[in-house]
Amino acid sequence: MMRRAGSAALVAGCLLLAACAGGGRTPLPTVTGPTDGAPPAPPVTTVPEAAPPAATSAEGAARDTTPEVPTPTRLAARHAVAQLGAPYLYGGAGPRGFDCSGLVQYAFGMVGVSLPRDTREQRRRGRRLDDPRTLEPGDLLFFRDNRRGMMHVGLYVGDGRFVHAPSKGGKVRMDAFGASHWQRRFIEARRLAEA
């Protein structure tokens, strides 16, 4: 009787060691029959890891872990963000200073996409987006300026924000596209064809 109990304990110990040596992986099932009339060892079970809690739709959008495809327009948006804090410079299109269309031209130029220097000419590029809720990073946003006949352009960067070079004495900054100031002046959004 003592020998049978020792055999059962030995089998159970081996199964436990095999499960531990598996690095947390579920062990393959083994089929064993009774030996010398000893009762079969209890089955070894593992508890699967708990799945993370499901996020609400608002949280899901903020925590989306889908890898971002590095398209030229998305990369241009990143280049524009990298210029935050650069001084406004009328006619500026380089890292020492920017005006609004110069920032857009610079950001796209960094990814090999040639754009005209003038805001009106930039507005003729790409296709008009009928629904601003479909904006993607790199889309161009056009606004009426307070000055007669002037336009302003910014680069959408995601999460309801855009980057632009606002005006004399200012710096390249990020603003909320949904702010009433910008919504009152919004003309259209345009998406450039991927280069």
Instruction: With CA atoms as reference, report the closest residue to 36 among 3, 63, 67.
Output: 3
> Is 100 marked active-site?
yes
Task: Dihedral sign for Cα 23, 29, 35, 41, please.
Answer: positive
Give the number of C-alpha atoms closer than 13 A to the C-alpha of residue 16, restricted to the C-beta side.
8
> Is 79 marked active-site?
no
Q: Which entry of 14, 20, 79, 152 is annotated as an active-site residue?
A: 152
Q: What are phi and psi of 126, to 5 degrees?
A: 70, -165
Q: Which entry of 20, 79, 100, 181 is annotated as an active-site residue?
A: 100
Q: What is the DSSP letter of 111?
A: T
> Is 181 marked active-site?
no
- What residues are annotated to the active site? 100, 152, 164
